Amino acid sequence: MSDASETVLSVVIDPGRLAAGIVSSDGDVLVRDRVGTPGREVWRSLEQIVRRILAARPEDVALPSMVGVSCAGPIDVEAGSVSPASVPAWSGFPLRDHLEELTGLTVHLDTLAGAAATAERWLGDAVEVPSFLLLLLDQTIESAVVIDGVRLRGAHGNAGSIAHLMVEPGGAPCTCGASGCLNAYASTAALETEMNRPMRRATPSIVDRTGIMIGRAIASAAAAFDVTTVFVGGAVIDTFGDPVLESLRRELALRSRLTHLSGLQVVELSGYGQPLVAAAAVALCAGAEMSRRNDPE
Ligand SMILES: [Zn+2]
């Protein structure tokens, strides 16, 4: 894939924090740092953490040759801009240009889930799974699909995002302005607002309903994308545990009666998906994907 001594500068913007690191082409994190996402001046914080990381590079670690970025969606990969819901000031923020100017390096950008899917396919749970959906249920819901080994991107880079798939007609209002979206039922932000208490104190009926809503979304997405496997992870799964997976699987079984879905599996991510490694994978796998696309086959 790349020179063994090559390194990548990884940058992660997730709903709660900014992280940066230097990652080897084997996926080892060599230098790392992180801060909570500040309420304002987010770019200034990110710039500082990137400068700190570059300054902390040991002499025997090669200078990064490119930058891999994973950012909470939605993104516009053509424009190189990002609009994460958790950073209201960043609506169409030209992150790629800013990082290219700061580092002088080529910047590769993907969503959090797109980066995670690329990394799982590269050296994680999905090495032998060509067609899958990856679903991260955290403060926001991030997801991505890999079909026949290719991370589908779409016109702006958000293909496979099912956060705003409708799971309950006429249901709860969503932050996007519509109602009944998965995001309104299965993100920690929506659940904590509704319950007015922390996730770990959710009632069994809320846990059960959360699983049902996730099961509905997965059933629709799996039917549309023809995947064999759905990898799930994030704070909702970690906190609600087996009961949410049970109600999810029960609902999914009810709604996945098509023959091509009979083997569909829902698998918890094993935890390899280190965000800095995932961001590095965006850059390290970009060349490989390009050559596959250009392959006349
Ligand atoms: Zn929505």
| pLDDT tens per residue, range 211-256 | 999 999 999 999 999 999 999 999 999 999 999 999 999 999 999 8
Distance (Å) from CA 55 to ligand 1 centroid: 41
CA of 174 to the centre of ligand 1 (A): 5
Selection from 274, 266, 218, 223 nearest residue 246 by Cα: 266
Percent of the chain with pLDDT over 70: 94
The reply to whether omega before 74 is within 30° of 0 (cis) is: yes
* pLDDT > 50? residue 289: yes
- Output the CA 180–ligand 1 centroid distance in Å: 7
29 Cα–ligand 1 center, Å: 35
C-alpha 146/C-alpha 127 separation (Å) is 11
Measured between alpha carbons, how far is 45 from 35 in angstroms, rounded to an integer? 8
The model's pLDDT over 163-211, given as tens digits with 9 standing for 90+, comes to 999 999 999 999 999 999 999 999 999 999 999 999 999 999 999 999 9
CA of 179 to the centre of ligand 1 (A): 6
Domains identified in the chain and CATH numbers: 7-112+274-294 (3.30.420.40), 125-268 (3.30.420.40)
- The contacts of residue 103 (CB under 8 Å, 6+ apart) are 9, 50, 54, 64, 67
Q: Which pTM does this prediction carry?
A: 0.91
> Which position has the token pair 């990856």?
134
Centre of ligand 1 to C-alpha 165, Å, is: 7
How far does residue 228's CA lie from ligand 1's centre (Å)? Answer: 26
**Span from the CA of 190 to the centroid of ligand 1 (angstroms):** 11
Q: How many angstroms separate the alpha carbon of residue 85 from the centre of ligand 1?
A: 12
Q: What separation in Å is there between the alpha carbon of 168 and the centre of ligand 1?
A: 11
